[in-house]
Every structure is written in C-alpha cells, then in structure tokens.
Amino acid sequence: MNIFNSPHSPYGHPLPQGERGNLFLTLTCFPFWSYGRRIVHIFAKKVFRSPLGRGDVFLTLNYFSSFTYRKKIAHMLAKKLSLSPLAGGDGFLTLNFFSFSTYRKKMAHMLAKKVSPSPLAGEGARRAGEGNKKHIFIFFLFLLFSPIIFAAPAQNIYNFNTVGQQNRFDDLTQNLRCLVCQNQTLAESNAPLAQDLRRQIYQMIQTQKSNQQIKDYLIHRYGNFVSYTPPLIPSTYLLWGLPGILLLMGIFIIRRLSS
Amino acid sequence: MFGIESEILAMMKSKFTLFIPIILFIIVCFFLWRGLSLNPRELPSPFINKPIPQFTLPELYHPDQNFSSTELRGHVTLLNIFASWCISCRVEHAQLMALKNQRAVLIYGLDYKDSPNDVLKWLNKSGNPYERIGFDQIGNTAINLGVYGTPETFVIDKLGIVRYKYIGPITKDVWESELQPEVEKLARED
C-alpha cells in the first residue's frame, strides 16, 4: 500500500519518507457518526497546522452513514486542503462505501476543482517534469478495501496470561455465531451482544472453564444455532449423512457406467 | 416371448431415466418453496417448556427492592424485554398499554442495557404498561434468558414455565393471532 516508495509515485521516483511525512488515517466502521465527525475535525485541524511541509494525506472515510454529512466533510476537506501548507504535497482521498454514485462523481469534480488552484501545483510537479498537470490522486476504493480488515483489531482488548488461553479464545469466538448478525462469527461481529458474549467467554476462560463448558453455556441459552458445528441429533442426520450418501451414489453411478 | 418382455422392460427403464431430471427439479422446488416461508432469523428458544431461568435484578422504580424470577408465578404473565433506545419497543408500546388497560394479561418488563434517566423519562411520558421492571444494566440477565435483540416477549405460565416466545414488536395482529390464544389457553390450565 506504500505508493510513495513505488516507482508509480506521482513524482516518478521513490519519495523519501519522513522528509515528506505521511499521514494515514483510516476511519472505519464507526458506529456513531457523530464520533466520526469529531475525528475528522481533529484531523483537519492537525493537517492544517501540521509540520508536514510537503506531506501527503491519506484519508479514508469509510462507512459514513449520513449522506448529507459526507457532503459536509468533503466541503470541509476541500477547503482545508486548498488552504493548507501542503505545498507540493499530494492529497489522497479515499472515499469508500459511498452509496450514491452520482454523488461520488460530483465530489470528484469538486475536489479536482478545489485542489487545482491550490499551491499544490508547485514544485513536486515540476520535479516530475509534469508541468502543471494534476498531481492529485483521488482514489475511490470501494467495498473490498474497508471495514472488515480495519474493524477486526478493535476487539483485541483482552489480555491473557498464556498464549494457550489466547488461542482458545480466538478458536471459540471464531466458531460461535453472533446471534444478531447471523452470518458473522462472534470474533467478527461488533454488535453489542457479540461484545458482551466475548466478555463472557473471556471471563470463563479466566475462571478455568473448559471449551466444552463454554460452548454448553451458550448452547443452553441460545440453542444449537449459536454453534457453527451442528450436533448429531435426529434433525441433523440428513445434514451429516448427505455427503456419505452422495459419495455412495457417485460410486454406484460410476460403476454402472463403466461396466 | 421372453425377447419381447425384456424389450418392454428396457424401454420402461429408459423412459424412467428421462424422468429423473424433472423429479430432481420438483424436489428442489419443494425445498426452495419451503424456504420462502421460513424465517431464519427467528430462533426457537431453548427454554420452551422449561422454567424461566433464575434472576434477581433491581426494580427500576424502586432501586432498593429486587425484582426476581420467582415473582412470575401464580398468574399467566408476559415478560417483555425492552429498552428506551429500542425503536421497535416504541412501536409495541401502544399495544402493551392497551393490554394493561384491558387487564388482558400481567406484563413484567426487563429493561435491557438502558440508562435509568432515559427509560424513566420515556415511561413517565408515554405510560408504563409493566407491573414491575427489572433493570438489567449490563445485560447479563438477558444473556441468561437467551435474548439476542429487543423486543422479545416470553409467555410464562402459572408455574413459572416458559411456554412461548415472541421475537419482535407485539402489534395488535400479533397479539390476536399468536399471543392471545396462548395466554387464554394457559389461563384455563390449573
């Protein structure tokens, strides 16, 4: 992901880091958009005042839910960027997960307009021999980029005494289903209930409960559905037996055809 | 004579193999059609026909008192898990008030992960349909009851045994078609 040191950098040569200071900001999956707003404010302030002489700004705004709010952010950023001391710098703006495609287009236009009259059309471009060509990259990376990757570390808030306990915790949470978002595991989900259940599992591991006891605890309360491994009971005979039946049928058919 | 019979048999056999795809198609259709009428999000409660799990919680209006699962005996009761932040709970609120005013059934509440100020403000403003309310601030009691989203409603018989669970807001329709028959049936039991 390090575009600065790649031969494809807008400057045509690798950029020394530090000198140009890079700022990567990823706002992912914030549940409360008001919180996201606060971060963006802080961020904008920092950039405005920052010593990033010719710095580069990566801004990833993911998953913002309020459409009007996105517009506001875009305006604000565009303003900040053009005023900022990022002379010679590059603004990378990654807006993920925008749901209105017409809006994306509009935003791109707007940013391109705002940015080009800025002092950014300076030295960097000349050094690259590109004259006054735009050296602002606006990246729109959708979907694949964002929430899952960045949301995952958020839950690593539990410290275990041994690696074994940590492994058990990972193993259990990855094999139990979140009841709220039912296609996610307890490890993946950020639903409040999943957080509570992770806490319960953590506490039970701390009190030396076995994996089976922990699973039984959850199955007792939520039913077999909570486990990704269905038990062998009459209603699941078909489920467990079907692969074998299909295999036998396959063997039977092949033998019939070959004889 | 034998020659003709075996020819007919072979013909019938080849005709039958022609029908295999359509038979498979019908079987698949049956399962897909069945899938349309299932709601995979609704999970059967493992507590049906078992006593309601033990709990003791502070009572919302009287924090010095406790509301405990042993109080859910002697009458047919509804235990409704709700929260002031839960939009669907506001949807069902009017119906719960109507049930209270008609004295259709005793409703007990379990306030799930809420702030006391918010919930008291809401109930004081729009009415309190509950006899008593357990205040479950951390949500552990709700976990013990197998709650995975608000609102959920348990129908509990006179012996304190869970007989039915409804997930989602109780509308007039839901009450009349699902819960009322259950409550009336349980009321006739000894």
pLDDT for A89:
32
Instruction: Tell me which range, A186-195, B31-40, B136-145, is most confidently predicted by mean pLDDT.
Output: B136-145
What is the percent of chain B where pLDDT is above 90? Answer: 71
Task: Single out the residue of B106, B104, B59 nearest to residue B80, CA to CA.
Answer: B106
SS3 readout for B109-128? EEEECCCHHHHHHHHHHHCC
Chain B residues touching residue A192 (CB < 8 angstroms): 113, 139
pLDDT mean over B63-71: 92
Query: Does B122 score more than 90 pLDDT?
Result: yes
Chain A residue nearest residue B40, CA to CA: A182
pLDDT for B3:
65
Chain B residue nearest residue A200, CA to CA: B140
Q: What is the mean pLDDT of chain B?
A: 90
Q: Beta A22-27 vs B106-112: how paired, if at all?
A: unpaired
pLDDT for A76:
52
Predicted-complex ipTM score: 0.78
Q: Looking at the complex, does the CB of residue B19 fall below 8 Å from at least one CB of chain A?
A: no
Integer Cα distance of A251 and A247 in angstroms: 6
pLDDT for A181:
79
Q: What is the mean pLDDT of chain A?
A: 58
pLDDT, tens only, A21-42? 333 333 333 333 334 444 444 4
Host H or E run for residue B108: strand B106-112
pLDDT, tens only, A73-90? 555 554 444 433 333 333
Chain B closest-CA separation from residue A155 CA (Å)? 18
pLDDT, tens only, A123-169? 443 444 343 334 333 333 333 343 433 334 344 578 788 888 888 99
pLDDT mean over B80-94: 92
Integer Cα distance of B163 and B157 in angstroms: 7
